[in-house]
Amino acid sequence: MRTTTSQAPTVHRSATLQSVAEATGVHRSTVARALDPGQSHRISAEVVERVRAEAQRQGYRRDQIAASLRTGKSRLIGVVIPDLANPAFATMLAAIEDRLAIDGYSMLVADGGGSSGALPIVEELMARRVDGLVLATATRDDPVLTACISAAIPTVLVNRREDALRVTSIAANDVGGMCLAVEHLVSLGHCEIAHVAGPIDMSTGVLRRRGFEDAMRQVNLDPSFVISATEYSRDAGRIAATQLLGRWPQATAIVAGNDLLALGTIQEIKHRGLSCPDDISVIGHNDMPLLDMVAPPLTTIDAEFARMGALAARALVAGIEAARTEPEVILTTPRLILRESTAAR
Amino acid sequence: MRTTTSQAPTVHRSATLQSVAEATGVHRSTVARALDPGQSHRISAEVVERVRAEAQRQGYRRDQIAASLRTGKSRLIGVVIPDLANPAFATMLAAIEDRLAIDGYSMLVADGGGSSGALPIVEELMARRVDGLVLATATRDDPVLTACISAAIPTVLVNRREDALRVTSIAANDVGGMCLAVEHLVSLGHCEIAHVAGPIDMSTGVLRRRGFEDAMRQVNLDPSFVISATEYSRDAGRIAATQLLGRWPQATAIVAGNDLLALGTIQEIKHRGLSCPDDISVIGHNDMPLLDMVAPPLTTIDAEFARMGALAARALVAGIEAARTEPEVILTTPRLILRESTAAR
DNA sequence: GTGAAAGCGCTAACAT
DNA sequence: ATGTTAGCGCTTTCAC
């Protein structure tokens, strides 16, 4: 507490344009103009100065809610993530936030992984009049996307493709990534290569599976050793690996639909008294944090989640601020991250 | 514009109370009441039904921005996280979101780790008229907290204590956690125990350091083998460990200020051709995801980030909705998670 | 260069 | 049981 005569901002019942105007002896709209960098040049320097001083003294901050109501722009972006607790998405979220902040947007974050689906969540975001939406929920439930489109709200998809091209989507080149994985294993001498795929109701799950099958055919290998996990998690990976190893004990290499599935697969391999990579090579997808320190350090495909997040934010803001933008599919180029979970046959 | 009689929602220029009222032939306020479950009983069932049908037909959704302006409540909570990309905070964020959603609040997420400090971020959140603030930024920069208090906005601190008790804070019992760590190492026969502490400008950094020193004194061991890292990261952990091992090569055990520091420490140990835990035991703090699969699986103190997040959200909402709540310090009870990075001397 | 006035869509106190 | 009215704090068009 200061007892001096100073000008500590008085923030009691918050300051408004009106309160600043009264204290300065000018009209509210004059205050608004004086405080707006884009308009203050139309106001006499002397008034601008007095207004600024008084605004500062009162601790005035423009009420974004009132401004939004008036202008119809909230400068708010809704971001729906399939699993907030997943470190890979944390990376993406950080990148989205970073980029949005640069453009002066704030981020309303919701977890779309709940039981009731993403639709109620998106509706809540719409009620809040978000200017745009980033959907990273990979489940291919079109009602959500349809709702966004019919409400005419700018939307981009991340980590998921929308080939109908109704909205722009940012994703890793899943097919290319699986090629990389298969080629790597083939170069190591593997022939019996299996796939623990992601859930079939997710865009990434089916795309990577297809990529795996294509890549296998291209090198004249049998692409049919595939089990789909029920969700992207270590447990689901372990369960899928159990089935897979039961059915095809001859497999010498497994490419997993994502890193968590790969980790679960490795657990199951160890559990059977086998070794990764000595008995079975495993390769993941996404390059989530900490993979370089797990045992064995996981060879994986870098899906560039951070970059995807930044690209998504950029594309979305562009779509909001431009009158019209054509939807497009932006694919990031996956890279093989070579670590120690894969070995020569 | 539709000329047919059908009822596909027309979401052209979005529906308002007014538009529904006109189509129904009643007054806006009647529509408002009919649509509010808490008031619809005051309206004749017949009107309620007609209004509901028309609202549905138009795809009406209450404009939360307009409602906020009118009521002064935004049902928005600002959440400031020190490092969004950190998996431990992802866990916490998920828990906060989960709890807030139950109470009907949405979450505005910002990363407070930027160079300019958290103050501008919090000011932006205030301009958006958030109903409350969760601050997980552990840096002890009081200007932020002072701003929150003088703006009279309900605030809770997570993973950080505020002993002045101006606001409620939720944190792990850092001192207790360090006791657990030290006791565990002592029971394993270690005497030369060192500490890679967190940054000195963070509440957790100094608290855990103090906890370490207290615990060491309690068992009559020398508490002075301490190096503070410059930030919570693997790199900083590795650098601190380098110094520490240079100065006190006799150390047989290291307790780290958090898991990332522990991981960095282990890297440095390996780099020197030593083994963890055979030569040096290491223990972390927080129990972030994936620690059970790193090499060696990291023994750590579970700080219950998810629980802290849920508690914080609950306390905040209580503070918003109750007329008055006394600030308190809620401490979670840390547990030792025994894995394989610690071994008998 | 500044003022006046009209809302944005909603809620709530006050009628009837 | 329903209608009227008065704003919330801001932006913006139109005057002077």
**B185 part of contact set with chain A, CB < 8 Å:** no
CA of A191 to C1' of C13 (A): 79
Helices and strands (H, E) in chain A, number of each type: 12, 12
pTM confidence score: 0.92
Task: List the B70 CA – D8 C1' distance (angstroms).
Answer: 4
Contacts of A146 in chain B (CB under 8 A): none
Task: Convert the pLDDT of each residue in A269-279 to its tens digit.
Answer: 999 999 999 99
Which A positions 148-167 lie with beta carbon below 8 A of chain B?
A: 150-152
Reported confidence tier of residue A6, pLDDT bands at 50, 70, 90: very low
| CB < 8 Å & 24+ apart, contacts of B15-19 | B15/B55, B15/B58, B15/B59, B15/B60, B15/B61, B16/B60, B16/B63, B17/B60, B19/B58, B19/B60
- Estimate in Å the CA B126 to C1' D2 gap, whole number: 38
- Tens of pLDDT, residue by residue over A164-175, are 889 999 999 999
By C1' distance from the Cα of B17, the closest nucleotide is C9
DSSP B202: B
Residue A13 binned pLDDT confidence (cut-offs 50, 70, 90) = low
> Given a cut of 70, is residue A8 above it in pLDDT?
no
Mean pLDDT, rounded, for B265-284: 98
The alpha-carbon gap from B217 to the nearest alpha carbon of chain A, in Å, equals 34
User: Which nucleotide is at minimal CA–C1' distance from B27?
Assistant: D3
| pLDDT category of residue A5 using cuts at 50, 70 and 90 | very low
Per-residue confidence at B5, pLDDT binned at 50, 70, 90? very low
What pLDDT is recorded for position B14? Answer: 83
For A:66-85, CB contacts with B below 8 A are: 66, 68-69, 74, 76, 83-85
Within window 11-30 on B, which residues have Cβ closer than 7 Å to strand D? Answer: 26-30
Residue B63 CB lies within 7 Å of the nucleic strand C: yes
Which contacts of B26-32 are long-range, i.e. CB under 8 A and separated by 24 or more positions? B26/B51, B31/B55
Segment B186-211 mean pLDDT: 95
Helices B45-58 and B17-24: crossing angle, nearest 10°?
120
Whether B25 has its CB under 8 Å from any CB of chain A: the answer is: no
Chain B: give the shortest CA distance to residue A329, in Å. Answer: 26
State the Cα–Cα distance between residues A103 and A119, nearest whole angstrom.
Answer: 27
Q: What average pLDDT does the structure give for chain B? A: 92
Q: What is the pLDDT of residue A14?
A: 83
Asked if residue B9 has pLDDT above 70, the reply is no
Nearest-angstrom CA–CA distance, B284 and B288 = 10
pLDDT tens readout for residues A48-63: 999 999 999 999 999 9
CA of B61 to C1' of D3 (A): 23
Nearest C-alpha in A relative to B146: A1
How far does the CA of residue B77 sit from the closest CA of chain A (Å)?
10
d(CA A5, CA B154): 28
DSSP A138: -
Look at residue A4 and tell me whether its pLDDT is greater than 50: no
Q: How far apart are CA A260 and CA A249, in angstroms?
A: 22
Predicted pLDDT of residue B13? 63
Listing DSSP states for A76-92 in one string gives EEEEEES-TT-HHHHHH
Q: CA angle A14-B105-B165, nearest 5°?
A: 60
Q: Please report, rounded to a whole number, the percentage of residues in chain B having pLDDT higher than 70.
A: 96
pLDDT per position as a tens digit, A77-119: 999 999 999 999 999 999 999 999 999 999 999 999 877 888 9
Model confidence at B325, in pLDDT bands (50, 70, 90)? confident
pLDDT of residue B11: 43
On whether the CB atoms of residues B54 and A119 are closer than 8 A, the answer is no
pLDDT at residue A223 greater than cutoff 70: yes
Q: What is the mean pLDDT of residues A219-245?
A: 97
How close is the nearest chain B Cα to the Cα of A107, in Å? 6
User: How many residues appear in chain B?
Assistant: 345
Kindly determine whether residue B111 and residue A94, on different chains, have CB atoms separated by under 8 Å.
yes
Question: CB of A237 within 8 A of CB of A244?
Answer: no
pLDDT band at A7 (very low <50, low <70, confident <90, very high): very low
